[in-house]
Amino acid sequence: MNATSTSELMNTLGSQAKAASALMAKAGAATKVKALRELARLLRENVAPLQVENAKDLERARAAGLAEPMVDRLKLTPKVLETCAEGCEQLAAMPDIIGEIMGMKQQPSGIRVGQMRVPIGVFGMIYESRPNVTIEAASLSIKSGNACILRGGSEAIDSNRALAALVQQALVAAGLPADAVQLVPTTDRAAVGQLIAMPQYVDVIIPRGGKGLIERISAEAKVPVIKHLDGNCHTYVDDPCDIAMAVKVADNAKTQKYSPCNATESLLVARGVASEFLPKIGAVYAAKGVEMRGCPEALAILADVPGASTRPATEQDWAEEYLAPVVSVKIVDGVDEAIAHINRYSSHHTEAILTTDHIHAQRFLREVDSASVMVNASTRFADGFEYGLGAEIGISTDKFHARGPVGVEGLTSLKYVVLGEGEIRT
């Protein structure tokens, strides 16, 4: 596809999305529920045909020599599709927050002023690999009354086309515009450049993928971006704390899964509990093959743990998102140093304090400058499902607009509503 035709294509998608967004914004709650339930039904009914399309992507991926774990991420198994269908039904069952009016208060002039929750308008989503993201994004877009333009990875283009066709079928069945969810049909890379530079049509861009992709999009976008950069998450073991609980939670936060962005990458330990806590967690990590990169004081204690794989932490380690069986370990004076260290090195994603001290917990919650701050819980909980958002379109590490897991609410905006009886300004 040449540059002119890609540009024309994207303009067409944009203007269609904009037109559809006006209809979506005034769609009734029941209509959106109908579309979501219909989509769930279609996903279940079309497992076989979806797998036929998916097989084309899998074949192409294997022919290109993609590693098997990467091929796995592309697979639309019956289980993956059932999870997608259930996700649609869960969203359908949630209360509709569009049109909600908050804080209506009478002012001295007599007017009453409140805020109404409305959709953002049109969002563009750019993602890689897993085709089920197509359904997650589409269903959140429908529930939130937005229109969206989806740009999946070229490796999943056949699966994404088949899924997007079902989404449009569901929209039409509910009396909603098919253009409310459009997939960019070409794998031309120029389409991304166009999508992020159409402020007349697109209100926000949501990239999901590697850090490189997100940094490039943020730098070049002409519209706001909901960014999710890295997750260098910390767990701080305070003095005083419940040592047994701290071992259990620090274990889970690091080892329950290594690849998610909410896994703990750095363990801070208050000096007062280090000699009791570190040998215990060290033994757990050693048994699971987790390498520990420590400050000299931590290494001295860990030296006595049988089978522990340790090495000195460098300055770079404190800022690193490993996404692997590696953890950095630092002994700190207490809550002050822990907060200062986190605010310096963290990527502002998710941090937890394990403590029994009320004041320390309150200070940690208030002073740690991250999207999610936790007391006595595993950082692995930081996601939209666990937070009760129904689904998430991404996790924002920005402070602007949406912070942390972004669900339906993050895709909305508040406008002021003023009700009067003929008041004038004097």
Question: Under the rule (CB under 8 A), what is the footprint of its own copies?
Answer: 22, 25-26, 99, 105, 107, 109, 111, 113, 116, 118, 120-121, 203-204, 224, 242, 245, 248-249, 251-253, 256, 343, 352, 354, 363, 365-367, 369-378, 380-382, 386-388, 398-401, 403-405, 413-426
- In whole angstroms, the minimum distance from the beta carbon of 409 to its own copies comes to 10
- In whole angstroms, the minimum distance from the beta carbon of 367 to its own copies comes to 5
Strand-pair category, 112-119 with 101-106: antiparallel
- In whole angstroms, the minimum distance from the beta carbon of 320 to its own copies comes to 19
- Alpha carbon dihedral 112, 114, 116, 120, in 10-degree steps, equals 120
Looking at the Cβ atoms of 337 and 398, the one nearer to its own copies is: 398
Asked whether the beta carbons of 144 and 393 are under 8 A apart, the reply is no
Looking at the Cβ atoms of 255 and 328, the one nearer to its own copies is: 255
* Distance between CA atoms of residues 179 and 192, nearest Å: 18
Position 351: which residue type?
E
- In whole angstroms, the minimum distance from the beta carbon of 399 to its own copies comes to 4
The three-state secondary structure class of 230 is coil
How far is CA 37 from its chain centroid? 24
Looking at the Cβ atoms of 245 and 283, the one nearer to its own copies is: 245
Looking at the Cβ atoms of 68 and 315, the one nearer to its own copies is: 315
- In whole angstroms, the minimum distance from the beta carbon of 98 to its own copies comes to 9
* Distance between CA atoms of residues 292 and 302, nearest Å: 9
- In whole angstroms, the minimum distance from the beta carbon of 406 to its own copies comes to 11
Looking at the Cβ atoms of 157 and 246, the one nearer to its own copies is: 246
Cβ neighbours of residue 51 closer than 8 Å, sequence gap 6 or more: 76
Residue 148: HSE in the Cβ half-sphere, 13 Å Cα cutoff = 33
**Gyration radius of the chain over CA positions:** 24
* Distance between CA atoms of residues 156 and 80, nearest Å: 15
Asked whether the beta carbons of 161 and 133 are under 8 A apart, the reply is no
Looking at the Cβ atoms of 104 and 303, the one nearer to its own copies is: 104
